[in-house]
Amino acid sequence: MLEREQVIVLDFGGQYNQLIARRVRECHVYAEVLPYTTPLEEIRARQPKGIIFTGGPNSVYLEESPRCDAAIFEMGIPILGICYGSQLMAYLLQGRVETAPVSEYGKTEVTVDRSSVLFEDVEEQTVCWMSHTDYIAEAPKGFRVTARTPVCPVAAMEDASRGLYAVQFHPEVLHTTEGTKMLYNFVRKVCGARGDWKMDSFVEQTIGKLREQIGDGRVLCALSGGVDSSVAAVLLSKAVGKQLTCVFVDHGLLRKNEGDEVEAVFGPEGPYELNFIRVNAQERFYSKLKGVEEPERKRKIIGEEFIRVFEEEARKIGAVVFLAQGTIYPDVIESGLGKSATIKSHHNVGGLPDHVDFKEIVEPLRMLFKDEVRKAGLELGIPEYLVYRQPFPGPGLGIRIIGEVTADKVRIVQDADAIYREEIAKAGCDKDLGQYFAALTNMRSVGVMGDERTYDYAVALRAVHTSDFMTADAAQIPWEVLGKVTTRIVNEVRGVNRVMYDLTSKPPGTIEFE
């Protein structure tokens, strides 16, 4: 077997660290983010094909700023410094870094020297994303300047004989039009990586790593049926088989038929042969939510009750050493500067009880982005409809029913939502929507049906375009589709006489209603 090639992304605290790793993986070379404090021996032991220094918010010349050992430049491994990373390279090699007279933010036209390998096939004038207040005023000895802007004398520099490259801008963000090409040039041409890494290698390698980590211990996995926890569960089951138990808590706030769908895939009749426990806890949740109207209280109650149920199941299983979670990169709030991720991991399943004695947390998807998780899911043979599911919040329909939650309101919103999803899919509008669902407003109004007065609930429909779920725009669903959905909901769902469409973007609205 060929040895696995890898690039190490050395994290100096920038925002885009994982994005850099992801772009390298897109070049079919495995990449991992490590804290800048990683000892050189450890880096050497990994035999990376290349190292990338990330950006960061600091000024290299300040005493407290993160730095690595300058001996890193003597290891004979190609290095690319990005933003702070480029300044660090200049600083440690006796160049001059200072506050720039003019800061550059945003898209900036950069003139590059196309004779540099880094800029092969790149336009001479190319748009790059800048975000800096310091700059390299003078490149270190032995370096040549390979890009500049009218106000940035060293927008890129290199000492090709030592494999050292640096760029002031951010090639990893898509605003840098030809950034992917530059990273490709670094990874494949400068570092000489073969580029034979694929998602199936991730799956294979992760299974190996999990076996090593878990040994003959027992693992508990909170499975929601969402893509992340499903992929984590299947990976783990491939790694440790029956040492794994998956607990699926049906809190009665799932979409229509969802509990049965999850059970059909992961339960005893499904293809995975998992130890699968479904806990039907609907009544418990409804009784705790009785009379509660305030959104935050509802969230807290649902989160807490989830913990109680999970805790009870964990106790029944006993002697579980590992807790597995489907945490993915966007869930990880820590910057990777050597801090533990345990706090956020707990959040991911709603805050786990302290006294359930898990020795270790297992998070096989921690470095992946959502679309990478989806690729891994397909690789593992998870059905497409599960892999491409839209996100669904942990508190479920509890936050799509405004005000008090009752079993009858859950029925209404489940039925309305099922019709909405069915019609959207039939009309083929589902592909480009980030999220779409029906919610139940707490509003009742007067209507007329079959000559009779009605006084029933209004259902709200929502559909948004979003790439990161931090901001969103209301989607323009064709009028005929909305008309058809409205007619069907009012005709088929008892207790509804009005349907509304939410046009609010985020901000100022949020995607969910509570």
- 372 assigned to active site: no
Q: Compute the least distance from the CB of residue 471 to ligand XMP, in Å.
A: 9
| Residue 471 interacts with ligand XMP (CB under 6 A): yes or no | no
Binding segment (CB under 6 A) for ligand XMP, from list 30-38, 42-50, 51-59, 386-394:
386-394
* Cβ-Cβ contacts under 8 Å for 197 (sequence gap 6 or more): 4, 5, 25, 28, 29, 30
- Would residue 3 show up in a list of annotated catalytic residues for this protein? no
Alpha carbon distance 107, 102 (integer Å) = 15
- The answer to the question of residue 506 lying near ligand XMP (CB under 6 A) is yes
Rounded to the nearest whole angstrom, what is the least distance from the CB of residue 435 to ligand XMP in the complex? 5
Burial label for 248, CB within 10 Å (0-12, 13-18, 19+), is buried
132, exposed or middle or buried, with CB in 10 Å at 0-12, 13-18, 19+? buried
Q: What is the SS3 string spanning 65-118?
A: CCCCCHHHHHCCCCEEEECHHHHHHHHHCCCEEEEEEEEEEEEEEEEECCCCHH
Binding-residue pattern over the window 391 to 410 for ligand XMP, x denoting contact by CB under 6 A: x-xxx---------------
Nearer to ligand XMP, 195 or 391 (CB): 391
Q: Cβ of residue 296: shortest distance to ligand XMP, in angstroms?
A: 11
Place of tokens 């947390």: 361
Stretch near ligand XMP under the rule CB under 6 A, chosen from 73-81, 151-159, 448-456, 504-512: 504-512
Identified catalytic residue from 27, 68, 83, 221: 83
Residue 326 contacts ligand XMP per CB under 6 A: no
Closest CA to 237 of 220, 224, 225: 220
Q: Does 263 bind ligand XMP (CB under 6 A)?
A: no
> What does the longest C-alpha to C-alpha distance in the chain come to?
89
Here's the x/- map for ligand XMP, 408-447, by CB under 6 A: it reads as ---------------------------x------------
CB distance 507 to 472 below 8 Å: no
Is 170 tagged catalytic? yes
Phi and psi angles of residue 452, each rounded to the nearest 5 degrees, phi first: -105, 145
Minimum distance of ligand XMP from residue 508's CB (angstroms) = 11
Q: Which of 26, 123, 473, 512 binds ligand XMP (CB under 6 A)?
A: 512
Q: How many residues bind ligand XMP (CB under 6 A)?
A: 10
Catalytic sites, residue numbers:
83, 170, 172
Residues at the site binding ligand XMP, with contacts judged by CB under 6 A: 391, 393-395, 435, 469, 506, 510-512
